[in-house]
Amino acid sequence: MTSNEITTRDQQPAGAQESALVLWAYEARQAAQVAMSLAKTSFVPASLRGKPEDITAAILAGRELGLQPMATLRSMDVIQGTPALRAHAMRGLVQSHGHRVWLVEQSPTRVVMRGQRRSPGGGYEPEQEVVWTIDRAAQLGLTGKPEWKKQPQTMLTARATGEICRLIASDVLYAMPYAAEELDGDGPAAAVRTSGGRVTAAEIVGDPAPQPEAASDPVQPEAAEDAELDWPEPAQPGGEA
Partner 1 sequence: MTAITEPGVYSLPDEVYHADPVPGGSLSASGAKTLLRAPALFQWEREHGRPPKREYDLGHAAHKLVLGVGAELAIVDAPDWRTKAARQQRDEAREAGRVPILAHEHEQVQAMAAALRRHPVASKLLDPDRGGQPEQSLFWRGEENVWLRARLDWLPNMDGPHRPIIADYKTCDSASLPSVRRAVANYGYYIQDAWYRSAVDNVLGAQAAFCFIFQERTPPYLVTVVQLSEEAQAAGRRAMSRAIEIYRDCTESGIWPGYVGDYEIPEIDLPPWTDRYEEYA
Which residues of the shown chain bind partner 1 in the complex (CB under 8 A)? 9, 80-82, 139-141, 188-196, 198-199, 201, 203-205, 208-209, 211-212, 218-219
Q: Work out how close the CB of 140 gets to partner 1 at its nearest, in angstroms, rounded to a whole number.
A: 7
At 232, which amino acid appears?
A: P
Q: Work out how close the CB of 193 gets to partner 1 at its nearest, in angstroms, rounded to a whole number.
A: 5
| Cα–Cα–Cα angle for 9, 13, 19, rounded to 5 degrees | 95
Q: Which is nearer to partner 1, 17 or 139 (CB)?
A: 139
Q: Which is nearer to partner 1, 2 or 211 (CB)?
A: 211
Q: Work out how close the CB of 195 gets to partner 1 at its nearest, in angstroms, rounded to a whole number.
A: 4
Which letter does DSSP use for residue 127 in this model? Answer: P
Long-range contacts of 44-49 (CB under 8 A, 24+ apart): 44/73, 45/73, 45/74, 45/76, 45/77, 45/221, 45/222, 45/223, 46/220, 46/221, 46/222, 47/77, 47/78, 47/79, 47/218, 47/221, 47/222, 47/223, 48/73, 48/76, 48/77, 48/78
Q: Work out how close the CB of 210 gets to partner 1 at its nearest, in angstroms, rounded to a whole number.
A: 9
Q: Which is nearer to partner 1, 120 or 204 (CB)?
A: 204
Q: Work out how close the CB of 134 gets to partner 1 at its nearest, in angstroms, rounded to a whole number.
A: 17
Q: Which is nearer to partner 1, 209 or 235 (CB)?
A: 209
Q: Which is nearer to partner 1, 141 or 239 (CB)?
A: 141
